[in-house]
Amino acid sequence: MIRDDVKAAQIAAMKAGDKDRTAAIRLILAKFKDRDIELRGKEVPDEDAMLIEAMQKMAKQRRESITMFTDGGRTELAAGEQHELDVIEEFLPSLLSEEDTMAAIKSIADELGATSIKDMGKVMAELKKRHASVLDMSKASGMVKAALA
């Protein structure tokens, strides 16, 4: 379970005296707590998928911040964000390769009978339902568009 892995990593980082890593892990745990509060009283079918989605959002935010800080000449802030991103990515499952992503898109498109760009919404919904935890949905969107064009 992802939550247990993150808590174990926090304890290890604290014992090692790694303050930067401990701070990054605490950010992850805080996000988990926020998500728990958000979903209080609602049934969560797959907790790991929910936690992965939260960490993917955190990673996306860090990537955007790194770009902005780098463009603004604030390399020290970009380095801090990069460190946090590295810690977050340790707990994320590895993403599917482009070939595997295209294979999944083609499989879903064939199943749904999708032939034109009008069917993109159906394909994206099914792709997200099946593979959201192992796909970068922004890249997948472009790939679906290209496959259906």
pLDDT of residue 84: 95
pLDDT over 80 at 138, yes or no? no
Same domain, 80 and 29: yes
Same domain, 142 and 86: no
| E strand segments, 91-146 | none
Same domain, 63 and 108: no
Same domain, 67 and 11: yes
Same domain, 85 and 132: no
The domain that holds 44 is classified in CATH as: 1.10.1510.10
**Rounded to an integer, what distance in angstroms lies between the CA atom of residue 104 and that of residue 144?**
10
The answer to whether the predicted template modeling score (pTM) of the entire model surpasses 0.85 is no
Task: Please give the structure tokens belonging to residue 42.
Answer: 């609602």
Please choose, from the candidates 82, 96, 94, 90, the residue with its C-alpha nearest in 3D space to the C-alpha of residue 28.
Answer: 90
The domain that holds 119 is classified in CATH as: 1.10.10
pLDDT of residue 146: 83
| The total number of structural domains that make up the chain | 2
Same domain, 31 and 102: no
27-84 tens-digit pLDDT: 999 999 999 998 888 887 788 888 988 998 999 999 999 999 999 999 999 999 999 9
Please choose, from the candidates 144, 132, 139, 129, the residue with its C-alpha nearest in 3D space to the C-alpha of residue 56.
Answer: 132
Are the C-beta atoms of residues 143 and 101 closer than 8 Å to each other?
yes
**Rounded to an integer, what distance in angstroms lies between the CA atom of residue 138 and that of residue 55?**
15
Domain with 141, as residue range(s), is 98-148
Same domain, 9 and 70: yes
